[in-house]
Amino acid sequence: MIYFYLVLSVALIPFLNNFFEILRQSYSWWLVPLLIVGFFLGFVILHLLWFLLSFAFVSFKSDKEKGARYYRFVLKCTLPLIVSLARVKINLSGIPLDQVPTDRKMLFLCNHQHDFDPAIIWSAFPDNEIGFIGKKEIYKKMPIIGKIMHKLYGLPIDRENNREAAKTIIEAIRYLKADKASIAVFPEGYTSKNCELLPFRTGALKIALKTNVPIVVCVLNGTRKIPKRMIWRGCAVDFRVIDILYPEDYAGMNTNELGDKIHNLMETALTEIKTQ
C-alpha cells in the first residue's frame, strides 16, 4: 500500500500540470518533490483516519458477524502500511505461506513475546480470517485494539479465573465448529520477558482436540524490539511456520502430549532462529 500511494503521488504531478503548468515553472525543481511528499503524507494520513474511524464507533456488544468482511478488508489494507511505516521487516522461513490452506478454518499456535505479535501473524496470514484469544485487559486498556479483535471474532480470556477461561475456550470451539473464524492462541498464556519459550497452559489445546482442525504451529522472534526501534532505526522480526498438524497427526493424544509435541517444535525452531 505504501508503494501504491507513492506511485499515485507521482502520477498526480503530470495530471495537475495540465491545469497549473507545474513542470514549466523555474521553481519546479523544489516544488515537484515537495508536492509528491505532501500528496504521499496526505494519502497516508487519510488512510489511517479511515482505519481509526472504522473501528472507533464499534460497540463490544455489537454482532461480530455484522460487517465482518468489511472490517477484515480494512485491516488487510492497513496492516502492511503500518508495518512499512514502522520500518519492521518480517523475515519469513519454514513452510511457505502459500502452502497454508485458506479454504478451511484452523487453530494457529505461536509463542508470545510482545503485544505486537498478533499484528505480525495477521500480516503473515491476511486471508485466513483469524480471531485471537487475548487477555481481557486489552479490551479495557487498549480499546481500539480491543474493538479490532472483537469485530474479527477475537475473544477475551481471564487468565486468573479458570472457570471464565474455560468459557472462552468453549466459545472458540463453537466458532470453529460453526466455521466462523480460525482461532489463534498463544499457549504460553503470558508474554515472555526474556524471549525464551515459557511452559504451556495446555487448556487451549482442547480447542484442537474438540474440533479436529489442522494446527498451524508458528514461532516468532524480535517483536520486543519494535517499540524501541520502529520508524527511526527499524528492526527485523523473524517469523517461521514450523508445521501444519492435521487431525491424523495428533489423533489419540491428550492435551499434555500434544502440548509437549508442539512445545518441542517451537523450542527447537526458536533456538535455530536465535543462532542464525
Q: Cell numbers 525543481 label which residue?
A: 29
pLDDT at 44: 96
* Under 8 Å between Cβ of 200 and 179: no
Question: Distance of CA 223 to CAs 113, 119, 191, Å?
Answer: 6, 10, 11
> What's phi and psi for 25, nearest 5 deg?
-85, 155
Enter the CATH code of domain 62-274: 3.40.1130.10
CA distance 188 to 183: 15
What would the grid cell of residue 160 be? 486468573
CA distance 141 to 90: 27
pLDDT at 220: 97
pLDDT at 27: 67
pLDDT digits (tens), the chain, 276 positions: 788 999 999 998 888 777 777 767 676 777 888 889 999 999 999 999 999 999 999 998 888 888 889 999 999 999 999 999 888 999 999 999 999 999 999 999 999 999 899 999 999 999 999 999 999 988 888 899 999 999 999 999 998 888 899 999 999 999 999 999 999 999 998 899 999 999 998 888 999 999 999 999 999 999 999 888 776 788 999 999 999 999 999 999 999 999 999 999 999 999 999 987
Closest by CA to 88, choosing from 276, 229, 275, 270, is 229
Spacing of C-alpha 177 from chain mean position: 22
What would the grid cell of residue 224 be? 520486543
Q: Where are the domains of the chain?
A: 2-49, 62-274
pLDDT at 32: 81
Strand order in the sheet with 155-157: 88-94, 235-245, 215-221, 107-109, 182-185, 130-135, 155-157
* Under 8 Å between Cβ of 22 and 16: yes
